[in-house]
Structure 1
Amino acid sequence: MKLQIAIDRVTLSKAEEMAKIFAGKTDIIEMGTSLIKDYGLFALKKLNEYKKDSLLLADLKTCDEGAYEFKQGYEQGFDILTVMGSSSRETLEKCYEVSQSYEKYMLIDLLECSMEKVHEIADFKNAIYCLHTSVDKSGDHNIIEEIQKFKQEFPQIQKICVAGGITLEVCKEVKKEDIQSVIVGSAITKSENMAEELMKFKEVVK
């Protein structure tokens, strides 16, 4: 299982500082949607200088103009870009075509997608499908049950990741489910010692 760390809701200089800490020590460094909206792809392009052998993800949350946004993201050096599963089939197809032509990765964010919708878009063989719990939602959810149910419903989907409220303890349980990657945000980025906390998660996922 791979570890993805999401950097969100910070200044550009803070994001740069975090990228230096995480570079080469995590599989994927994510530039969150708030950073994209605050600073744009051109400003964030500079973070490629620090990624070392980590992959760099831009959480575009594309929902339209798929080909244009994905071309721009890959041209700025990002390795993985995100598109909303709630988008039209045509938008997803355009994003996928571009990702394949650049030999890079597409992540489909399934936030608020119904099972019916997922069935319509479950055939992008090389895409990563993300089970995502909204930060705005309150209440408990059982991510392990969600993963197990999803895998039973969609055995053809081989690349699954999870995001939303992932703690160290949750990560230990998720590891048992044999998925592609786990996305961790504030559990690492808001800790007093990010490098130390990162190592704890690395120990779990390796």
Structure 2
Amino acid sequence: MKLQVAMDLLTIEDALTLAGQVAEYVDIIELGTPLIKAAGLAVVTAVKNAHPDKLVFADMKTMDAGELEADIAFKAGADLVSVLGTADDSTIAGAVKAAKAHNKGIVVDLIGVEDKVTRAKEARTLGAKFVEMHAGLDEQAKPGYDLTGLLRAGEEARVPFSVAGGVNLRTIEAVQRAGAEVAVVGGSIYSAADPAQAAKDLRDAIIGALELQRN
């Protein structure tokens, strides 16, 4: 399972600092939607130039003009670009067309989608590299939230998926058991007193769980 850091920061400088701290332990560096809106796609270029060996994920959350927006992000250096699962099929298909032209990938973000299982299968048919079982910050703030529903949807959909929404050191093993290809971790890394140590602990937990499964 890959580890993805979601950076919901607001400046290129902060993004480069955090990326430099955690790059050794993560596989995918996600530039969050607020960061891209605040700093522009220049942050994608800056992070990709600084860490060419990492997959850089531009969390565009595209809702329309899929081919155009994906093309812009890929040209800026993104390896992965997100499109909302609530978008029209043609929007997802357009983004996938751009991805194929650049030999990159589209991730369909299922935030706000009621029937995540069905939409996940549809997104995969449309050409998504994987789907993201995602609960946003606002949803996570509601009383009683946990990520069990996301894990259950991922297991049921039987397509490549990531999980975002409350993934931390306590829940990372359950995410791996559910069969996720990618664990997306935000605040547990970027809000930690020592982001590098937090990322290392998560990486070690993933490796440890994998070794247990093998034994």
Instruction: Decide: shared fold, TM above 0.5.
Output: yes
Unaligned runs of 5+ in 2: 208-215
CA distance in 2, matches of 1:120, 1:168: 31
Q: Distance in 2 between matches of 1:43 and 1:126?
A: 24
- Distance in 2 between the 1:14 and 1:147 partners? 31
* Equivalent residue, structure 1, for 2:136: 134
Q: Are residues 43 and 160 of structure 1, via their aligned partners in 2, closer, same or farther at CA, if it must alter by over 3 Å?
A: closer
Distance 1:24 1:53, change over 3 A: farther
Residue 120 of structure 1 deviates from its aligned partner by 4.3
1:136 Cα shift?
0.7
Is 1:50 the counterpart of 2:50? The answer is yes
Question: Aligned letter for 1:144?
Answer: T
2:90 aligns with 90
Aligned to 2:194: 193
Give 1:134's aligned amino acid.
G
Per-residue CA distance 1:128-168 (angstroms, 9 max, x = gap): 1101112112123342343234432x23x2x1100012121
TM-score, normalised via structure 1 length: 0.91
Give the distance between the partners of 1:92 and 1:52, measured in 2 at CA: 26
Q: CA deviation at 1:43?
A: 4.3
TM-superposed CA distance for 1:6, in Å, is 0.7
Q: Please show how residues 149-160 of structure 1 align to structure 2 within 5 Å.
A: 149-152=153-156, 154-155=157-158, 157=159, 159-160=160-161
Which secondary structure does the structure 2 equivalent of 1:23 belong to? Answer: helix
Counterpart residue identity of residue 124, structure 1: L
Of the structure 1 ranges 7-16 and 111-120, higher mean CA displacement relative to structure 2 is found in: 111-120
User: TM-score by structure 2 length?
Assistant: 0.87
1:1-206 map, 5 Å: 1-115=1-115, 118=119, 120-137=122-139, 138-152=142-156, 154-155=157-158, 157=159, 159-206=160-207
- Give the unaligned 5+ runs of structure 1: none
Contact 1:31 1:59 in 2 (8 A): yes
CA root-mean-square deviation: 1.8
Q: Structure 2: how far apart are the matches of 1:95 and 1:53? A: 24
Cα distance per residue 1:64-85 (max 9 Å; x no partner): 1111111111111110100000
Cα distance in 2 for partners of 1:176, 1:120 equals 24
The 4+ residue runs of structure 1 with deviation greater than 6 A are none
- Is the CA contact (8 Å cut-off) linking 2:8 and 2:33 kept in structure 1? yes
